[in-house]
Chains A and B, each alone.
Chain A
Amino acid sequence: MSAPGADGCGAPAGGIEVTGGAGSQAVVQGHVTSAGTPVPSGYARLLNSDGEFVAEVPLGEDGGFTFYAAPGVWTLRVLAPGGIRVERPVSASTGMITELEVAV
């Protein structure tokens, strides 16, 4: 995986791992599962309170996703093959890692 920073802008599968706690970030992360099994092929989208698209990552091998949001209320939307489309509301706070497990 390439290091995040000014020279890159892409979203690696699963998102960029949080290391050493949230620090000053407002992290939203979790996993997508189907009948208890990780969903490795699909996408997690973060929408703002107006329903506008903010960011998207492909799910990791473990169905994982990570976002670095701003404090506030967001919507997580999961897209996966087979027409799967599931939404969950989520709140983010600075310095916190908000965990979200999504069953589809």
Chain B
Amino acid sequence: MSRSDVLVEADWVQAHLDDPGLVLVEVDENTTAYDKGHIKGAVKIDWKKDLQDPVRRDFIDRAGFERLLSGRGISNDDTVILYGGNNNWFAAYAYWYFKLYGHDKVKLLDGGRKKWELDSRDMVTDVPARPATSYHAREQDRSIRAFRDDVVAAIGVLNLVDVRSPDEFAGRLLAPAHLPQEQAQRGGHVPTAKNVPWSKAAEEDGTFKSDDDLRALYGDEAGLDFGKDTIAYCRIGERSAHTWFVLHELLGQANVKNYDGSWTEYGSLVGVPIELGDGK
């Protein structure tokens, strides 16, 4: 798999906006930004309302995903281009989610909404009308999703990558610094996890660094053993979806899982080991 199979540049998207069989999807935690302006033709997905079960802490099920994509007018044959704010965190999460349910023709817009805005490219408020489809999803591909027991079993055995900021990793902050720090769970990280903040994989404009830089970042600098399986986590699983994309899709590492329960689950478990302090 090469970079062009999973990532498209803003210039390319601009030139292919009207291509049939191509669907742009803006994904964010809420749709305020989309409602103010989005890339022409893009439909929206709300990370919370559309992708999360409203009662249980889990994803919508297969039938729910089928209803969602059918309602958005996305068919199984469409190539889906995902983008969003927050340096594509939620778009990367949606990418992983689309893969989880077996949609293979999906790519990320490199740099997401941020680069598009910083480039002063056109945005519109028109919401496209796409006729409903009959989308068919596959069963979840559990080979890319980790659960809490997988993480505990991976301590000292597999690569664990904590992609939060150094201050969250150390236990000084419980959430990213744009959020209030009043979470109830314990601070710290999973023992033996390496701290490679997601932001190190991205340039300032939100685009991904080169494959060579990324390989050096996770290999030489962080000391990941590329011969081992890897689990990535953050606080709620969207920043780690960004890192899952880097390791699994850009660098082609086999057996990389995203732990979507992440620190809000692990840091609230009774009896599991936690380590404090800065990365080594």
Chain A residues close to B by CB (< 8 Å): 1-2, 4-13, 15-16, 24-25, 41-43, 45-46, 48, 50, 52-58, 66-70, 79-82
Contact = CB atoms under 8 A, between A and B. Distances in A.
B32 A9 contact: no
Nearest to A92: B177
Contacts of B86: 9-11, 56
Question: Which among B85, B175, B177 has the greatest number of chain A C-beta atoms within 10 A?
Answer: B177
A52 B180 contact: no
Contacts of B205: 79
A81 B117 contact: yes
Contact of A52 (B118, B166, B178, B182): B166
A101 B205 CA distance: 23
B28 interface: yes
12 contacts: A6-B185, A9-B179, A11-B178, A25-B181, A52-B166, A53-B200, A54-B176, A55-B176, A58-B85, A67-B178, A68-B181, A70-B181
Contacts of B239: 9
Interface string B184-226: 0100000000000101100011000000000000000000000
A6 B89 contact: no
Given A16-B179, A53-B199, A79-B118, A8 B166 contact: no
Given A58-B85, A81-B117, A12 B181 contact: no
Contact of B179 (A43, A52, A68, A81): A68
Contacts of B149: none
Contact of A43 (B114, B180, B181): B114
Of the four ranges (under 10, 10 to 19, 20 to 34, 35 or more), the interface on chain B belongs to 35 or more
B29 A9 contact: yes
B117 to A, nearest CB: 6
A9 B177 contact: no
A15 B179 CA distance: 8
B120 A81 contact: yes
B236 A6 contact: yes
B166 A82 contact: no
B89 A10 contact: yes
Interface in B239-257: 239
Interface string B91-120: 000000000000000000000001001111
Main SS class of interface, A = loop
A54 B30 contact: no
B48 interface: yes
A67 B181 CA distance: 10
B236 A58 contact: no
Interface in B158-175: 165-167, 172-173, 175
Contacts of B85: 10-11, 58
B70 interface: no
Contact of B177 (A7, A24, A50, A68): A68
Nearest to A84: B118
A104 B167 CA distance: 29
B167 A70 contact: yes
A8 B29 contact: yes
Contacts of B114: 43, 58
A16 B177 CA distance: 10
A55 B165 contact: yes
